[in-house]
Amino acid sequence: MPGPPSQADRPVLNAMSVDVEDYFHVSVFDGIVPRSTWGDMESRVSRNTDRLLDIFDEYRVRSTFFILGWVAERYPQLVRTIAQRGHEIASHGYAHRLVYDQTPHTFREDVRRAKQGIEDAGGCAVGGYRAPSYSITPRSLWALDVLIEEGYWYDASIFPIRHDRYGIPVSPREPFYVEREAGALMEVPGSTVRFGPVNLPVAGGGYFRILPYPWTRWGISRLNHVEGRAAVFYLHPWEIDPDQPRLRAGWLGRFRHYRNLAETESRLRTLLTDFDFGTVAALLKVRGHVTPTGQIVPLALPYVW
Ligand SMILES: [Zn+2]
C-alpha cells in the first residue's frame, strides 16, 4: 500500500485570473484609440470571455475575473454570467488609466465607479482589484490607501520585477499582508522565479504567449514543487482571438500584443491539463490568509511599507 502523499507530492492550487477588457483598451493603444471613441469600436470582449468560460467549464476551473468597469456598464449580462457560472468577480478599474498617471482623487473615483458597476451587474460583492498594466509602483503606493478606504480587501497590482513600465523588484514574491495608515489589505503579486538577484515573470500575459510554453511549465512546476508556492496566472480575452482588428502601434507594442495569438488557446488547454487552478480568493483561503468568514489573518511577519 502506498503511504500518504508527502507535502511535496500534494497538488498546489494555483490562481487563474482574467483581465476582462477589449483589445482596444490595452495600454499600448493609449493615444491611438482615444477613450472618447471606445464606444465606436467593434467590441469582441463578450464573445471572447464566453469562450474562456466554456474552456474553464471543460477543465472544471474556477477563475477570478478582474473586469473593467467600462465593460461592466455596457455588458452587465456578461458580469452576471461570469458570477453565475461560479467564478469570482473583481475589479480592473473603470477606464484603464495607469495608476501612476492619476491623482489620488481621480483614482478613487475610478475604482469606486468600477466596484459599484461590477457589483450592480454581478449581484455580489467585489473585494479584489488589479491595476491596468500592474501600475502600482513606488510612486503610486498611495493607491493602496485608497483601495482600503473604498472597501477592497486584496490587491493584485504589484509585480516584483524590473520592467520598462511597472514593477517593484524588491517586493515579496508571494501573497503578503500590507499595513497602511488607512488599514490593511492582502497583496497578491504576479508570479516570478528567482535567478540570482533577479526575479523573472513566469505566469501569464505576454510571457505566456511570446516565450515557448515550456518556460511557463518549468516556472510553475518550480514554484509548486520546489518552492511550495502557488502561481497566480493571468490572461486577457483578446489573447485567444487571432482575428481581432489590427491597430497601429510601435513595433514593440505590436510584437507584445499580436505575437502568437493563434497559439494561445491550445497553450491554455495544455496549461489547464498540467496544473490545478482556482480563484484568487480560494488561493488566499487555502494558504491560510483568509478565514472562512472572510476576515484577513495577518501573516507571521506583517510586511509594513
Ligand atoms: Zn488591462
Write out pLDDT tens, residues 163-195.
878 888 888 888 888 888 888 889 999 999 998
- Measured in Å, residue 100 CA sits from the centre of ligand 1 at 14
13 vs 278, higher pLDDT = 278
- Measured in Å, residue 1 CA sits from the centre of ligand 1 at 50
176 vs 291, higher pLDDT = 176
Position 236 pLDDT exceeds 60: yes
Mean pLDDT of the region 45-69: 98
User: Which pLDDT score is estimated for 144?
Assistant: 95
User: Which pLDDT score is estimated for 176?
Assistant: 86
- Measured in Å, residue 22 CA sits from the centre of ligand 1 at 9
132 pLDDT tier (thresholds 50, 70, 90)? very high
Position 7 pLDDT exceeds 60: no
- Ligand 1 is an ion; its neighbours by CB within 5 Å are 19, 21, 132
216 pLDDT tier (thresholds 50, 70, 90)? very high
pTM of the model: 0.91
1 pLDDT tier (thresholds 50, 70, 90)? very low
Position 273 pLDDT exceeds 80: yes
User: Which pLDDT score is estimated for 173?
Assistant: 87
Helix crossing, 104-122 with 76-84: angle to 10°? 60
Mean pLDDT of the region 201-227: 92
- Measured in Å, residue 191 CA sits from the centre of ligand 1 at 17
User: Which pLDDT score is estimated for 86?
Assistant: 94
